[in-house]
Amino acid sequence: MLKTSKIFLYDEPTVSQIQLERLATFLKEIFLIQVETRESISKLSKEDTAEKIAACRILNPIKPYERHKPTIDEIRFEESLIPKEETSIDLLHIFFTNKLTCTYDYEDFRYHGRALIGANPSIISITGIIEAPAKPREYYIELISHAAQNANIESIKQKYRGDFLEYNDSRLSKIIEGYLLQEIFYFETGEPFCDKKECRLYNAHWQKDLLYSQLESGKLCDKHQQVLKKLVI
């Protein structure tokens, strides 16, 4: 049985492929749950919350995260609001953003782009979906080779077009569904992702695997299909 009684989806107006109402319908049909759509957090206002968000910006990408004192302009840019009466544990808030979200890895001492930051509220980064999973190795090799020769690299991009997501990609809306499923399953079960590539809960590190799990397969594995059945009873 779901512990979540309602989901709030917050728009990112700069990304038309999100299609918030369609995503809300998708979640209602899958989880039989209330879903409310809202404007982007940038259109809401609460200065103290905005200051906390602005203070999370990464200013030095080669050092572990250090909280900084944001400027007034940074705070105003990040203004957001979740009413206190909507902070109950059974209310799940999911924000879409065009900002790149990252976590710092102390094993290799660098930041890694993330498409999903699972929590409540949670963040789905459209830039993270596009940039975090790696493109084909051959693409990078050819790109570096052509750049070294000062050649036109547009032909390389054209050669691999379709093998990875791009900005304003029509496939984004369908792939976003998968990240919504990953967040909700994680919130409900506490289990991160799935190790099967054919499952929409698979944590893809390569664009080809992301496209396969979300588009070519486009379904849950048998294990997580059974988990879903138990959740919506």
The pTM score is 0.82
Nearest in space to 125 (alpha carbons), one of 8, 14, 4, 7 = 14
* pLDDT for 23: 97
Residue whose C-alpha is closest to residue 193's, from 208, 171, 178, 175: 178
Which secondary structure element, helix H or strand E, spans residue 66, and what is its range?
Answer: none
pLDDT digits (tens, 9 = 90+) for 157-189: 888 999 999 999 999 999 999 999 999 999 999
pLDDT confidence band for 78 (50 / 70 / 90): very low
What average pLDDT does the structure give for the chain? 85
Q: Is the model's pLDDT at 52 over the cut of 60?
A: no
Please say if the pLDDT value at position 150 is more than 70.
no
Q: How confident is the model at residue 105 (pLDDT cuts 50, 70, 90)?
A: confident
Higher pLDDT, 141 or 112: 141
Give the model's pLDDT for residue 203. 94
CATH 2.40.30.30 fits 6-44+81-231, yes or no: no
Q: Which is higher by pLDDT, 113 or 142?
A: 142
Q: Where are the domains of the chain?
A: 6-44+81-231
Sign of CA pseudo-dihedral 187, 203, 197, 163 = positive
Distance CA(79)–CA(44), nearest Å, equals 6
Contact residues for 170 (Cβ-Cβ < 8 A; gap 6+): 17
- Quote the DSSP letter at residue 220: -
- % of the chain beyond a pLDDT of 70: 80
Higher pLDDT pick, 192 / 75: 192
pLDDT at 71: 61
Q: Is the dihedral of CA 37, 43, 48, 50 positive or negative?
A: positive
**Average pLDDT of 31-43?**
87
- Residue 223's pLDDT is what? 97
Span 8-24, mean pLDDT?
94
- What letter does residue 81 receive in the DSSP assignment? -
Share of the chain above pLDDT 90, in %: 59
At residue 63 the predicted structure's pLDDT band, cuts being 50, 70 and 90, is low
pLDDT at position 107 is 74
